[in-house]
Structure 1
């Protein structure tokens, strides 16, 4: 909220059974521009994909909230973005939607990437592609201390100011800087990640890795550990060192170190980008839900277009593309 909440209206719902608190479901007021037709939305984005909704019985708690929203906003549509496609939360959303008498329109979202070490680091490594392992070992071997390379690990507040300056320096020289997605250029990002780093450093749960050459920061991996999971929040590298793959090598080193601490899972967060997939053991799928009453004509119309009209158009385009790509017969 400090970083991005200046124009956000909160609508946090507390569900009680008598004096007993059964659950908390946070919503924010959705944008009213463009094609956004939802009145309220869960505050979830594609980078984190964590629903900040607490409940002893998720379906019952969400159903109570949805019924309350129907009473307050009879014609409103409610957005539940980035819900895992499988598992207890998806089941809870389905049940709660039915219990609240609402209809649903779901749209698929991109997958995320997770690496599991439940059988130990050696077993995880054996499951990786041999070419990937050769490249990782080759890149790490090139980072020879004799050539001025060294790695620094920041866990607490003592070293955080200097290492955070190194992170911002690396981000300013990364490919992300040019497209406006680096920590130092994206509005609010430096405030958000700086606050997160400081908070977890106080708990000694910060894992900030910085790779240096001759005291010049070249790559970083900003992560936190929580309940046995290593969350990779941000990572980047100096663009001029691209051929060395310092970012990938540093992430691999950080994962191995996490496994040595007894951590059994790395969550790469964000989308399952190409560089994450070879490191992953699982690619969880997500979908976003739009809930609305039966008489919400605009939502019904958009669902009809998406589920009835668009599929044959997509199928025709795919058929035409394959037909044009087919090799010509020769005599």
Structure 2
């Protein structure tokens, strides 16, 4: 993979994580997983001036159809690294998308619905005869910086602060307890990821969910990502150790003015102590002390995220553009029929 770091660094601050190492780690770990096929392709686009982007596509098979799909990690989202004028880049990208090979179309998602490049690209594709479908994946919840850590701490209700202190005190009374923050300076990422795995194997996600750190593919992904200097600086991990064992964690990624909460979990044996509240308090205060403008806590809310002051932000959408070819039209009709059959099944 050639180096196009300058493209990512010249784009929106909160999308600086869309850089070569992000895709390299994904391809090494998941490039041939499930319905994905290697190799990934990174197609450069320039407008003849200062604008540029990289189209990061890998092949994804959906039933009998082959699509050129945006690759990279699903969390916090996928995307096209770009700098400059989105409208000019959308127009300049069209010839490459037409010549994408034998694909039925392109899958562009999940991406934030307010991404300026995707907003410019959709009408360009539609005017060229592509059939563009959009599906809502979820809504990100955003916590804005109210003016610093002290201002945020004061805005928390007395009841919430008392509960955080109460459960933390009870956990300490049950055994020796510490909360450690790991970031680039002096972090042994191999040991940190191993401690996260220890938590995850004892968490509900290991039994009923989709683990993010267990298994050889996940281990490969995090080993590749943490080995990169930019991500080593951008990643932040908080782990609670109780009686010398890791029992709770949160992992976040800082990109420009935004902190993304990527994963968190806890050992079910300490569930009664609500360890996540202590970690979230530290994670939030640390972000606002550093001057970050917002924290993206991820999709969905059962009341927990709004309890911290987070509010609905941009929706994540999955956009599929079916090519104006016989193959693309056939795939679009098959997708439409599948949707109809699913609706019949629910009625």
TM-score normalised by structure 2 residue count: 0.75
Which whole-Å CA distance do the structure 1 matches of 2:158 and 2:66 have between them? 47
CA–CA distance in structure 2, aligned partners of residues 93 and 21 of structure 1 = 15
Deviations 1:117-143 (A, max 9, x none): 143345545666776555434333434
Cross-structure match for 1:2: 28
Cα distance, 1:28–1:283 mapped onto 2, change above 3 Å: same
Question: Would you say 1:98 and 2:126 are equivalent positions?
Answer: yes
Cα distance between partner residues in 2 of 1:183 and 1:85:
25
Gapped runs of 5+ residues in structure 1? 318-331
Aligned length: 312
Deviations 1:197-230 (A, max 9, x none): 3435885443221111222211112223232322
> Relative to 1, partners in 2 of residues 1:175 and 1:38: Cα closer, same or farther, differing over 3 Å?
same
Segment drifting more, 207-216 vs 127-136: 127-136
For 2:245 and 2:318, how far apart are their aligned partners in 1?
A: 43
- How far is 1:28 from its partner? 0.9
- Cα deviation code 1:58-112 (max 9, x no counterpart): 2332333333332454773211111322352342122322353322111221222
Partner-residue secondary structure (3-state), 1:2: helix
1:250 matched to 2:250: no
Structure 2, unpaired ranges of 5+: 1-26
Mark the CA change 1:183 to 1:107 in structure 2 (over 3 Å): closer, same or farther.
closer
CA, structure 1 residues 225+159, in 2 after alignment: closer, same or farther (shift >3 Å)? same
3-state SS of paired residue (1:276): helix
The answer as to 2:316 corresponding to 1:290 is no
Change beyond 3 A, Cα 1:118–1:198: farther
Per-residue deviation, 1:159: 4.0
The SS at the match of 2:313 is coil
1:191 aligned residue (213, 220, 236) = 220
Task: Indicate conservation of the 8 Å contact 2:70/2:78, yes or no.
Answer: no
Change (3 A) 1:98 1:259: same
Alignment partner of 1:209 is 2:238: yes
Distance 1:117 1:142, change over 3 A: farther
- What is the aligned partner in structure 2 of residue 107 from structure 1? 135
- Structure with max Cα Rg: 1
Task: Describe the shift of the 1:261–1:300 C-alpha distance in structure 2 as closer, same or farther (beyond 3 A).
Answer: closer
Is 2:253 aligned against 1:224? yes
* Cα distance between partner residues in 1 of 2:38 and 2:321: 21
The equivalent residue for 2:145 is 117
Match of 1:148 in 2: 176
The residue matched to 2:196 in structure 1 has which SS? helix
Select between 299-308 and 1-10 the one with higher mean Cα deviation.
299-308
Where 1:282 maps in the other structure, the secondary structure is strand
Counterparts of 1:20 and 1:265 in 2: how far apart (Å)? 29
Partners of 1:162 and 1:220 lie apart in 2 by 13
State the shift of 1:288 in Å: 1.4
Q: CA RMSD in A?
A: 3.4
Q: Give the deviation of 1:157 after TM superposition.
A: 5.7
TM-score computed with the length of structure 1 as normaliser? 0.78
Q: Which residue of 2 aligns with 1:236?
A: 265
Contact kept? 2:252, 2:261, Cα under 8 Å: yes
- Which residue of structure 2 lines up, in the alignment, with residue 327 of structure 1? none
Aligned partners of 1:71 and 1:208: how far apart in 2?
Answer: 42
Instruction: Work out the CA distance in 2 between the residues paired with 1:130 and 1:93.
Output: 47
